[in-house]
Amino acid sequence: MTNFAGLELAQPILRAIEDEGYTTPTPIQAKAIPPLLQGHDLLGVAQTGTGKTAAFALPLLHRLADDTSQPVRGKPRALILAPTRELAGQINDSIRGYSRHLGMRSAVVFGGVSIRPQIQALAKGLHVLVATPGRLLDLMNQGHVRLDAVEVFILDEADRMLDMGFVRDVKKIIAAVPKRRQTMLFSATMPKSVQGLADGLLNDPVKVEAAPAATTAEKVQQQVLFVAKDKKRALLSDLLSNEDIKRVLVFTRTKHGANRVAKHLNQCGIDADAIHGNKTQNARQRALKGFRDGKLRALVATDIAARGIDVEGVTHVINFELPNEPESYVHRIGRTARAGAGGMAISLCDHEERAYLRDIEKVIRQNVPVMEDHPYHAADIANDTSPAQRPSQGKKRPNRPNRRPRNDNRGRQSAGRGTAKAA
């Protein structure tokens, strides 16, 4: 498939695609759109940055445009479920962009903001509802939305959804949608838990895959810099003295750590802000807007943002701290080299993180090139091949059974154990 016109989408949708400046579908779009237009269920395995939102949005809008019946108050005709507020908002923005010539109504509902405008939007009747699980269940329990008119159900970022503890909420929502529907499930990885969910959700699905699961974007150049833990901030400042790093996402493992790094960068004269689960929704949106508009050069984030942020022109991703789940590395660096552009991912690795780096290299099936030409290179860490102790595995204290983990709100609980509330 060489262009969108060959996909036989409705003319108003093709006009909207042209308005966006797109001419050629990405591989996931070329593979997914034809069977979806034929009404098949679909299982899509695609990492971030592959164009999967359009892969499900365009055939969804084509189907709705082909049926002129109007939505009923509180009964959306299509439901898209996403794990984070940021991702849900961006999906809704895409839906609105692609449906601009169709006169359709869509809305997004998520927690952390007033529920009243969301109730009002549902009361007008929606063609497409984009939602996070928690707020959707709240609205269902209050009687403001019913899902018995849903014709198309889309579950995006299914692996992240389960990682964040949404499995029960998702199953409650699935039970409320009609059995006769078209269903799509997209996931960057396909662990047994996601495969089990897909088996119970999809009916004889077509499976499409844009890239092997848990591989990194081909155009992302990767480097690892070995550095002592107490020299990381100085190294970060040194890296950002390079003007080629125009728009950078910096990842930390904890919320408290993100705040400290953002404060350090501002003290160094680099416009930065932090985004994580402890921030109010307004603060998160303000930081994201500043980053998107170019007012902020750096955005410091925890892994909540690894899937939820879609900002054009991110030139670099810097892992200030390596993630303790190797799959998170894939999602983090997928924030750059999007839509055909190139990008660079730089990881700062201290002694305690050597084990994390080995786990990452196993998942991506390649060694990350080492960059020694920096003022804080730690040769002892670079040459250390012994099994390093993971930071989250401190020495056990005697006579302290059943110790509960520290609250992550204080920035001390290991990352990778996000909860629905934290999102």
- Of the chain, the end-to-end C-alpha distance in Å amounts to 37
What pLDDT, on a 0 to 100 scale, did the predictor assign at position 399? 39
Q: Which residue has the higher pLDDT, 22 or 404?
A: 22
> What confidence category does residue 403 fall into, taking pLDDT thresholds of 50, 70 and 90?
very low
| 356 CB-contact burial (10 Å; exposed 0-12 / middle 13-18 / buried 19+) | buried
Q: Is the pLDDT of residue 211 over 80?
A: no
Does 409 have pLDDT greater than 70? no
Q: Work out the average pLDDT over 43-61.
A: 89
Residue burial 223-248, b: 16+ Cβ < 10 Å; e: rest: ebbbbebebbbebbeebbeeeebebb
Average pLDDT over residues 138-165: 93
Question: DSSP string of 225-285?
Answer: EE--GGGHHHHHHHHTTSTT--SEEEE-SSHHHHHHHHHHHHHTT--EEEE-TTS-HHHHH
Tokens (6 digits) for 253: 């493992």
Q: Which domains does the chain have, with CATH numbers?
A: 4-209 (3.40.50.300), 220-393 (3.40.50.300)
Place of tokens 């004269």: 269
What's the CA gap between 202 and 200, in Å, rounded?
A: 6
Residue partners of 84: CB distance under 8 A and separation at least 6: 132, 157, 160, 164, 304, 307, 308, 423
220 vs 228, more confident: 228
Q: At residue 416, does pLDDT exceed 70?
A: no
Condensed to tens digits (0 to 9), the pLDDT of residues 269-325 reads 999 999 987 888 788 889 989 998 999 999 999 886 656 677 888 999 999 999 988
How far apart CA 184 and CA 177 sit, in angstroms, is: 13
- Reported as type and span, the H/E element at residue 62 is helix 52-65
**Rounded Cα gap, residues 20 and 7, in angstroms:** 17
Task: Say if residue 198's pLDDT is above 90.
Answer: yes
Confirm if 36 and 184 have CB atoms less than 8 A apart: yes
Mean pLDDT, rounded, of the chain: 86
Residue 265: the pLDDT is 97
Task: Provide the pLDDT for residue 423.
Answer: 33
Segment 105-122, tens digit of pLDDT: 999 999 989 999 999 999
H helical segments located in 180-223? 192-201
158 pLDDT band, cuts 50/70/90, is very high
Average pLDDT for 372-384: 92
Mean pLDDT of 182-199: 91
